[in-house]
Amino acid sequence: MQKLSLRDKIKEARISAADSFRGGKLMSSIFRPGSPFRKGYVDSPRNRSYVVMNNVLYHLHPVKVKRHGVRLSYTLCLGGLSFFLFIVLTITGIWLMFYFRPTELAYVDIQNLQTSIAFGSLVRNMHRWGAHLMVLVVFLHMSRVFYHGAYKAPREFNWVIGVILLLLTLLLSFTGYLLPWDQLAIWAVTVGGNMAGYTPVIGAQAKFGLFAGLEATTATLLRFYVLHVLFLPFIIVIFMAVHFWRVRKDGGISGPL
């Protein structure tokens, strides 16, 4: 028998240690059978199915999808990216909430965030550009769906949910626009809120309800803040869940053309 060199011995010990860790109680309690993080994962059709089926991912993805649907050129991943941007916005948004008070102090808080908090500027920028990007990506997703005729039977109702999602995305972006409490914020929201005032019959009430008064004040700020960080995200998550569920129940991605 060949004598092992020291280096080989170390390598062998390392592999067996990694194996006994991956095969150990802890890892197998975390990862369910079929997970690539478990010991003994081999790339087989059965395990490929298990990766999805035995995983929380099964709530989002079926085990198999139509071959043409995974071509990047079909969906351009736009729906997925809308969802992903929403997640990025949630994470950066929660981070921003630690440093922000929706009162007369809002403006100062943003100034401090940018000047004296580590990564404050970067995270604020990510939240703001991410929001603009999300409006754009959702819009492009809608255009993709339209050009594919993907709103046709049986997907009519998912289009309706989609329009609601677009509306909620715009509302989220619009309510967030006021929060920095600078001249850009207050006047953009004043322009928008005045438009609501032209609603036939209930114009004055709509405007009063939006502004929490006759014009944009710190009461409006608080109102928009609550809508922005709590109410609208809550509602949009519910509609997204229904949207994704319908994509699967309507037979997966539409097409091919």
* Contact by Cβ (8 Å): 93, 236: no
Determine the 3-state secondary structure of 179 from DSSP.
coil
In this structure, the dihedral spanned by the alpha carbons of residues 133, 119, 182 and 186, taken in order and rounded to 10 degrees, is: 40
What is the per-residue binding string for ligand HEM in 163-192, x denoting contact by CB under 6 A?
A: x-xx--x-----------------------
Collect all residues with Cβ–Cβ distance below 8 Å to 193 and sequence separation of at least 6. Answer: 207, 210, 211, 216, 220
Q: Which residue from 41, 99, 159, 245 is in contact with ligand HEM, where contact means CB under 6 A?
A: 159
Q: Which residue from 146, 204, 205, 248 is in contact with other proteins, where contact means CB under 8 A?
A: 146
Q: Which residue from 78, 131, 185, 229 is in contact with ligand HEM, where contact means CB under 6 A?
A: 78
Query: According to the binding rule CB under 8 A, does residue 235 interact with other proteins?
Result: no
What is the per-residue binding string for other proteins in 175-204, x denoting contact by CB under 8 A?
A: --x--xxxxxxxxx-xxx--xx-xxx--x-
Considering CB distances under 5 to 8 angstroms, the limit depending on partner class, which of ligand HEM, other proteins, none binds residue 100? none
Neighbours of 124 (CB within 10 A): 20
Query: According to the binding rule CB under 8 A, does residue 33 interact with other proteins?
Result: no
Query: According to the binding rule CB under 6 A, does residue 83 interact with ligand HEM?
Result: yes
Considering beta carbons, is residue 206 or 242 the nearer one to ligand HEM?
242
- Single-letter residue type at 156: E
Binding residues for ligand HEM, rule CB under 6 A, total: 26
What is the Cα–Cα distance from 151 to 154, expressed in whole angstroms? 8
Q: Write out the two tokens for 183.
A: 């001249």
Q: Which residue from 42, 72, 98, 116 is in contact with other proteins, where contact means CB under 8 A?
A: 72
Considering CB distances under 5 to 8 angstroms, the limit depending on partner class, which of ligand HEM, other proteins, none binds residue 165? ligand HEM
Considering CB distances under 5 to 8 angstroms, the limit depending on partner class, which of other proteins, ligand HEM, none binds residue 44? none
Considering beta carbons, is residue 192 or 233 the nearer one to other proteins?
192
Q: Which residue from 13, 160, 219, 237 is in contact with other proteins, where contact means CB under 8 A?
A: 160
CB of 231 vs other proteins, minimal distance in Å: 19
What is the Cα–Cα distance from 140 to 247, expressed in whole angstroms? 18
What is the Cα–Cα distance from 95 to 84, expressed in whole angstroms? 17
What is the Cα–Cα distance from 50 to 53, expressed in whole angstroms? 5
Pick the stretch among 7-15, 19-27, 63-71, 224-232 that binds other proteins (CB under 8 A): 63-71
* Contact by Cβ (8 Å): 119, 96: no
Q: Which residue from 89, 106, 150, 185 is in contact with ligand HEM, where contact means CB under 6 A?
A: 150
What is the Cα–Cα distance from 86 to 83, expressed in whole angstroms? 5
Q: Tell me how far apart the terminal alpha carbons of the chain are, to the nearest angstrom.
A: 64
Query: According to the binding rule CB under 6 A, does residue 254 interact with ligand HEM?
Result: yes
